[in-house]
Structure 1
Amino acid sequence: MTEPAYIGLMSGTSMDGIDAVLASFPGNCVEIHGTFSLPYSDTLRQRLTRACQNQSTPDEVGELDHELGVLFGDAAKGVIEATDLPRSVIAAIGSHGQTIRHQPSGKMPFTMQIGDPNLIAEATGITTVADFRRRDLAAGGQGAPLVPAFHRAFFGDDRANRCIVNIGGIANITWLPHAQPDQALGFDTGPGNALIDAWCLKQTGRPYDDNGHWASTGEINQALLSDMLSDAYFQRPAPKSTGKERFNLSWIETVIARHTGVPANDVQCTLVELTVRSLAMQLPQTRDVTFYVCGGGARNRFLMDRLRTALPEAAVETTAELGVDPQWVEGVAFAWLAKRTLEQQSGNLPAVTGARGKRILGAIYQA
């Protein structure tokens, strides 16, 4: 193998674990050599949730930063062991880290990802690139979403309009018009699985609603849905990004308090519809476009059915049709972003993040 390989490490707003991907990028193609997932324990997930909600002390955040650094290193070693590639061909690891707070629009904008990259580099002996968001933030951008640059590079088509829909804890889109490939747009549309999972955990004790089965037993409460869709975030123009500091269990409970007697499974069904409707109403267009879904939402059959219902004029597929399994898209993207950093090439799309210009992203932690 002559092409250098890269590891991408991703833990998103669902906070269910770390996805690790070992990939190379010959020509304009993605070649995945191995994948590995390291799930978080229930206890760790609860601790991360408290940190996201400003309920942790600085000591607790510091301990989480260290613990996650160790786990990210373990995930990197796990994907290496799952392949036959020698470590000598791995040029770098790109680690997104775990976001615990994202406030890009305040008086003093900041974004915080934990998972100490020093520990990753030390554990693996491989140069690690991390802290991707803050350079874009320093240039006046939102610091997110960053994956649209990867979407444009590998999923764009000069003959057809495409839209990549990432439904993780937070949902985001990348609009790829065929006539203007340089005019890609992208932004966070709002909640993806975050509210669905939070309500399911509170009501059933299960961390997620497998295939949306519980939601499918309920009915959409139109009054509740309209109230939820009145949140100002959905009307805010792009560029924009958000996270669990806004869309969380407290947000659900605040809205539900204005509606009495709504059965729990109806709330769950309505939350699925909120993800779908908030996404659909912010799309540039729905005719003559194919939507490719990735992230955990692609595995929720009920959510996918509702998305197809909301977009009757469009084709709705998953990124598997483009050659990358929906679970691994973001991991591959951060492997590619690490490659861009080492090559001193920009990794952001200013039209997406709102930054003043293209920037080389990330800090490099040498092996």
Structure 2
Amino acid sequence: MVYYKELLKHKESQNWFKASVALRIAQRGLQVFIDNGLRDVQKKIFSIAKSMGCLSPDTNCTNCTTENLILCPTRGICTSLKRCKFHNTPRKCLRNCPQQLCHLVRDGIIRYHRFSGPSWKNTKAEGWHADHWEIGKCYLPPDGYKDVSSSIESDFNALINVLINCTEFETKLSIDFTSSSNLLTKIREYGRNIRHSPDQKMKDIELNNLFQKLTSLLEDSVCLQTDSEAVSAVKNLKELQNDKLVIRVEDEQQILFEGLQMRLAKYYQRVFNSSLLCSLLPNRDSNPDKLFVTPKLIERDHRKIGKHGEHLMRLSVTTYRDIFFEGSSKCSNVYLIGEPGMGKTTLTIKCCLEWSAQHLREEGTLDELTDMAGNGHISFADADIFKDIDFVFRIALKEQNMPAR
């Protein structure tokens, strides 16, 4: 068993780790409460929609997609009028629901959103009737949660945003939602600071404030005070604060794993998006995509030799999957060979940026990061494969002082 205090010697580093555990405890304490609230939202939205449309209670629709219900262009979703990535086929264009239901459900989702801005990219409209979580995903942050299929799979950031964005929870919590700086928004800010801490350290006073705020939320007098999961979470928080909680091995390993992943991703974004190109571009905020030209790559198998000794040429390489996968299996070794100045180094940098963009999951940033990484190119547009790659390490051997072996 890896014990975090053996790895994190600094007291403030241990505080950061305890804060990460505290968020996980609170997350488990809120999951059932939020899931039940979203079930209520689904029932109310459909009931109101059918009543407004004078429709039979048995009316349902599974034919409409989210794209069919969203006007193009819609800010934050559509990329351009001529080449919109969201409405990119005739079947994804705006149209009327054949059952005259889905557009009313869409309007209901908007009404239940505190800021009238549901995260349409997260959800699949064809699942709204059968799965309350497809509606719930409209209240999550706009990026990075499309594949999350339940509250159990959601992280703390997702759940706290549901409480903030979905007005159904106004009746289930005693929090003053009219204030932009209420208990929930303060907790969300703590969560962001913990996840994105550059040195992954936290002062004692900040840790104590976090424990106090999480406990206040989980002991809310309207519903959570008597909720068994919330009560259990409060007990675990007190034990953690007093160093009496036995931390689960999987939690310990996952927090340390995600911490390293986050630091590496932020390092790539900080270093490769600007400093590397300062000498090439006058604008110091420029990023590699401004210089990136999609390379022409050809795959050759060194094991297959033609009659005259030449390597047999195979398919052109136009996607990241072509580079890193052979069928469904990841390649063990890939060698990129070419003349100087052909873009080998830039391509490796671009891979690092694509990977970091996929793993820096935060409100309103994923699209921006993937654009910076170059995801707008027709070739190599499958950057989402990097979500399934735990780490990308770029080691420039020519910069090493160690003698070659």
TM over 0.5: no
Larger Rg: 2
Higher helix share: 2
For this structure pair, what is the TM-score category when the shorter chain's length is used for normalisation? under 0.3
Which structure: greater strand fraction?
1
TM-score by length of structure 1 reads: 0.27
